[in-house]
Amino acid sequence: MISIRIRRGLTIFLCSLSLGAGLLAAPALPQPAGNDVAAPPAAPPPPVRDAAVPPGNEVVAPSAAPADSKPQPPHYQDAIVAIVNDKPISEYDLQQRMALVMSTSNLPDTQQMRDKVREEVLNQLETEMIQRQEALKNQITVSSVEVDKDIQGILTDNHMTMDQLKGVLARGHVVMATLRAQIAAQLLWEKTVEQEYAGRVNITPEQVNAEMARIAEGANKTHFTVSEIFLAVDNPEQDEKALKDAQNLETQLQAGAPFASVARQFSQSPSAADGGDIGMVYDGQLAPELNVVLEGMKTGDISQPVRAPGGYFILQLRQRLEAVGTKIPEAPKPEDTALPDSLPLTRILLPIPPKTPQQILDNVLKVSEAIREHISSCDMIPKLMTQVKGAAVFPMGMTKLDELNQQTRDALAKTTAGDVAAPFQDAAGIEIFARCDKAPPKIVGYQLPTREEVENELFKDQISALARRYNRDLRRDADIETR
């Protein structure tokens, strides 16, 4: 039996932020005597109250943030920004959700971005209000325990503690109730869809057979795992604005904004709910304008805006898979690859003082491993490390290896092009060395999915289509007044 899961995971991004939270769990790292690395002081975050989902074992239609969870600024305390079927959405609710998006999406805090986020977030809050009203009509509830379980999943996925999560939110002036309300709204909608369509989605063996045959036909073609951001152009007058918006989003993406978070907030495609993920396609399956762009992309690339039927697309190639039967060369192993005399390097230092307690040292080592895992190129290091309290970054440029100490050379000896060496401790602190030479593209072959995987994907497609239709009909019939 396949259970209905419409949207798991929040429209937030906590991955890189959790790196900073790791160091914040320990006392500030003092500067070792004689070390020339300055660790910038961190301003204390504003206090934040852990406001739970409204009291009671079960709740229906939680508000975006209880009024007593944080004093409302007087300039928008009583303002109403929208009314949905006679139910208001306050300026406070909108500002809190905007703060959640901005602080957890790694988006630049500019007025232009805030204006765009405001429009998208208000639309999202209106949709959630409609969905909560539908849940209430159908006597569907969500318990505090269910919300707690989802929050624990966020903590586990991001290797965070509750205190660290609160710290991330506090730095964005977001109360915990805002996050809990968003989770509760998504759980309510999942339950509503499940109740509405339970037993009405049936994937037959014939459907699975047909899909497997279709997949087999494309097995001899290159496959692409793709994410998209789509901005619709409904009439020619919208073309110029849509292109400008798409170019602005592409600029933010190239600067390091997470693709999935941007897609969730701005894409007008149904795939936005899944961070823009459209899954796997093979050569020739997409519109010709998009297909020709994909053919020229490498894994990890983000395209410029592409005009195709319906509007503008920005594509992210998450993985390129060669046709079935392609001979895949073995990836080079460090022990089989001699180090050159010189390498372009970037050094990251997490300073720790002498006689640091073992618990703090262990925590910093965990953070250093998380940093290593999140570095995919030297270009992203400066921005990533601004989120790690006390860390220092030293771009070293082309460096002769015989000028480095033995400990550093030993760490680099276990790397190949583009790798990040395993962290190690020395007198200055925890050292991480990243190789800035370009790694050769990794060649991966396509593998045919199993029958169970095909069945699950067909089920997901059908239930997602029904959920979108359900939501579209509810919004069409709703009385929405935006102020």
217 assigned to some structural domain: no
Q: Alpha-carbon distance 250 to 229, whole Å?
A: 10
At residue 6, the pLDDT reads 34
307 assigned to some structural domain: no
At residue 313, the pLDDT reads 95
Asked whether 419 and 377 are in contact (CB, 8 A), the reply is no
Instruction: DSSP letter for 131, please.
Output: H
Share of the chain above pLDDT 90, in %: 32
Q: Is the pLDDT of residue 300 over 50?
A: yes
Structure tokens at 146: 């269910």
Tell me the per-residue pLDDT of 210-263, one tens digit each, with 9 for 90 and over: 989 988 888 888 889 999 999 988 888 889 999 998 998 898 888 777 888 788
396-408 average pLDDT score: 92
373 assigned to some structural domain: yes
> Measuring CA to CA, how many Å separate 348 from each of 345, 433, 464?
10, 6, 44
347-360 average pLDDT score: 88
Greater model confidence, 126 or 77: 126
367 assigned to some structural domain: yes
207 assigned to some structural domain: no
DSSP per residue, 200-230: T----HHHHHHHHHHHHHTTTS-EEEEEEEE
Asked whether 63 and 93 are in contact (CB, 8 A), the reply is yes
Greater model confidence, 92 or 74: 92
Band (pLDDT 50/70/90 cuts) for residue 405 is very high
Q: At what angle do helices 176-197 and 91-104 cross, to 10 degrees?
A: 90
Look at residues 254, 231, 253 and name the one whose alpha carbon lies nearest to residue 308.
231
Q: Dihedral (C-alpha) 14, 150, 272, 89: value to the nearest 10 degrees? A: -100
- Give me the helices (H) in 41-175, please: 91-104, 111-137, 144-157, 162-171
Asked whether 334 and 414 are in contact (CB, 8 A), the reply is yes
Q: Alpha-carbon distance 273 to 269, whole Å?
A: 9
At residue 346, the pLDDT reads 94
80 assigned to some structural domain: no
Tell me the per-residue pLDDT of 290-299, one tens digit each, with 9 for 90 and over: 999 999 998 8
Band (pLDDT 50/70/90 cuts) for residue 199 is confident
At residue 332, the pLDDT reads 67
345 assigned to some structural domain: yes
Name residues whose C-beta falls within 8 Å of residue 186's C-beta, 6 or more positions apart in sequence: 7, 10
Query: Of the given ranges (105-119, 266-280, 390-404), which has the lowest mean pLDDT?
Result: 105-119
Q: What's the total number of domains in the chain?
A: 1
Task: Show the domain range for 384.
Answer: 1-39+336-442
Report the CATH number at residue 26. 3.10.50.40
At residue 51, the pLDDT reads 32
pTM (two decimals): 0.60
Asked whether 344 and 437 are in contact (CB, 8 A), the reply is yes
Q: What angle (nearest 5°) sits at the alpha carbon of residue 14, between those of residues 8 and 262?
A: 75
Q: Alpha-carbon distance 242 to 229, whole Å?
A: 12
Tell me the per-residue pLDDT of 129-184, one tens digit each, with 9 for 90 and over: 999 999 999 999 999 999 999 899 888 877 778 888 888 888 888 999 999 999 99
432 assigned to some structural domain: yes
At residue 78, the pLDDT reads 65
Averaged pLDDT score across all residues of the chain: 79
Q: Is the pLDDT of residue 12 over 50?
A: no
Beta-bridge partners for 125 = none
314-318 average pLDDT score: 94
Asked whether 34 and 428 are in contact (CB, 8 A), the reply is no
At residue 272, the pLDDT reads 82
Give residue 315's region: left, alpha or beta (phi > 0; psi -120 to 50).
beta
